[in-house]
A and B are shown apart, each in its own frame.
Chain A
């Protein structure tokens, strides 16, 4: 096996370990936390707000390909998708498909 190939496997293993670590420590902590306690409720709030922060960051300060589209176009597409989601009785298929088409079109023509 070439050196680059070995290197890629090491990178994958290190990434997997870094990812599993938080999950593993979460299970260890969970053994002592009952779902009715205040600390559980606090972690629950943090979990939702960390996710909201992550998603907002993905839209406003994205990495990768998304960064090549305009921020107002992205915000517009997300807002339209949420409106569609609400009007289609919380159907997730329509807003996700439409968002991809809408952003591709707006990005090509604006």
Chain B
């Protein structure tokens, strides 16, 4: 059903020098502590990371819950911040699709699409034969997802011992990890431009519409980069 050789090859990506383990761990330790502080119990915190597994969405959920937002408002706020997962999925899944593989693998494993697993897959897929890429991906996803769940537990249990400066230190790890991964992914004109323009336009649109700035900035930057790359 799942080829264990490729699954474990993917799973092992959480070891080594380019491992996302530290960054993911730091972020989900912070999430675990945050969920405890807003009144979740341990089981609910685990359940949340288990089912959601997307950091910005969990943060938005926590903030909305804290101010007593309605379920509809929580749905809309989370959906909006997580719409980035749509272009991420569309730019990953065609690389993994193979006619010999059952479709349920794709619909189930899309749950693992989050920045760290996505960036690892994008920089490694070419070294894996297309037929086996989905099993490799399920391995990466299971590995990163497990780290997120274990770290949520650690964060929940350790929350009383984490002071404010430590929480701030933990919070910077994730953006730093992502920035380094993005710098490492800058290998073609189109991608370089997409990343640089996205980093400029995203915050720029924040002054016009904070809620929509990531989507407006990202879509316009990506479209400009695409056309410049095509006509160069």
Binding site for B on A (CB under 8 A): 4-5, 8-27, 29-31, 33-35, 38, 40-66, 68-69, 74, 77-78, 81-82, 85-86, 90-93, 95-97, 99-101, 103-104, 107-108
Contact = CB atoms under 8 A, between A and B. Distances in A.
B90 A30 contact: yes
B74 A11 contact: yes
Given A14-B75, A49-B198, 9 more contacts: A19-B78, A22-B86, A29-B89, A45-B190, A47-B87, A54-B84, A55-B179, A69-B172, A92-B23
B22 A96 contact: yes
**What secondary structure prevails in chain A residues at the interface with B?**
helix
A49 B213 CA distance: 12
Given A11-B61, A58-B175, A101-B169, A53 B87 contact: no
Nearest to A68: B168
Contacts of A69: 168, 172
B183 interface: yes
Interface string B161-175: 000111111111111
Nearest to B49: A12
B56 interface: yes
B210 interface: yes
A53 B214 contact: yes
Contact of B82 (A19, A86, A103): A19
Contacts of A45: 190-191, 193-194, 222-223, 225-226, 229
Contact of B173 (A12, A30, A53, A96): A96
Interface in B91-122: 91-95, 97, 106-107, 110-111, 113, 115, 118
B79 A18 contact: yes
Interface in B67-93: 71, 74-76, 78-79, 82-93
Nearest to B89: A26
B129 interface: no
B154 interface: no
Interface residues of B, number: 105
Contact of B172 (A30, A52, A100, A108): A100
Interface of B: 17-20, 22-23, 26, 30, 34, 39-41, 44, 47-48, 51-54, 56-59, 61, 63, 65, 71, 74-76, 78-79, 82-95, 97, 106-107, 110-111, 113, 115, 118, 164-185, 190-191, 193-203, 205-206, 210, 213-215, 217-219, 221-223, 225-226, 229-230
A65 to B, nearest CB: 4
Given A27-B89, A91-B17, A100-B26, A53 B199 contact: yes
Given A21-B79, A78-B176, A42 B44 contact: no
Contacts of B206: 57, 60-61
A46 B197 CA distance: 11
A108 B17 contact: no
